[in-house]
Amino acid sequence: MDSATADQERQGKGGCGRIVGGFLLAVILCFVAMVAVLRWLKRPQIVNEVRALSDVRTIISAQTAWQSANGGYYEGELSCLASPARCLPDYPRDGPMFLAAPLASQAPKDGYVRAFVAGSRPKKIDPRVSSRSSVETWTYMARPVAPGKTGYRSFFADQTGVIRATSEDRAANVSDPPIE
């Protein structure tokens, strides 16, 4: 092999080596970034916040579904959403729940306290169609038990279906900005 061919081979291998080295560096950087994101997601405050937000969305969905089955009204007692046959006229005893009992209990969960407030009652309720505890409005709030330690934001939702949040050390309310 002449020296020109040997030089070309070395350059070719050197170029390929640089490509492989660059690719390896990119893979390592991606791995480090993934580990950082996973560690961030595993922070208990973030996990608790995601769970609380999911619960708020579940309440909105349950109330919306209940409204369809309850003569156009929402429910003023979350326990009725967990045991609909107890409250909703002609609802089958083996029919599905609108809400799981643990969420209906409003017990502290995943570092958040929850509060449901029944709003205004309809002027006239037809007891053959609607629950006696029907309401036209409602609010639901989830707030960290220890702000900054068990969660960063407080959440608020009402019958509009809009979820609002604040990172201030207080309960979120209708004046707070909607979440994106």
The 10s digit of each residue's pLDDT in 27-37 is: 677 666 665 56
Q: Is 8 within a domain?
A: yes
For residue 161, the model assigns a pLDDT of 97
Q: What is the pTM assigned to this prediction?
A: 0.76
Q: 76 and 147 share a domain?
A: yes
Q: 97 and 130 share a domain?
A: yes
| Domain carrying residue 50 | 44-166
Q: 31 and 119 share a domain?
A: no
Q: Is 176 within a domain?
A: no
Q: 67 and 150 share a domain?
A: yes
What digits encode the pLDDT tens for the residues 102-161?
Answer: 999 999 999 999 999 999 999 999 999 999 999 999 999 999 999 999 999 999 999 999
Q: Is 76 within a domain?
A: yes
Whether the Cβ atoms of residue 80 and residue 131 lie closer than 8 Å to each other = yes
Q: 55 and 22 share a domain?
A: no
For residue 43, the model assigns a pLDDT of 81
For residue 28, the model assigns a pLDDT of 72
More confident residue, 167 or 23: 167
Q: How many domains does the chain have?
A: 2
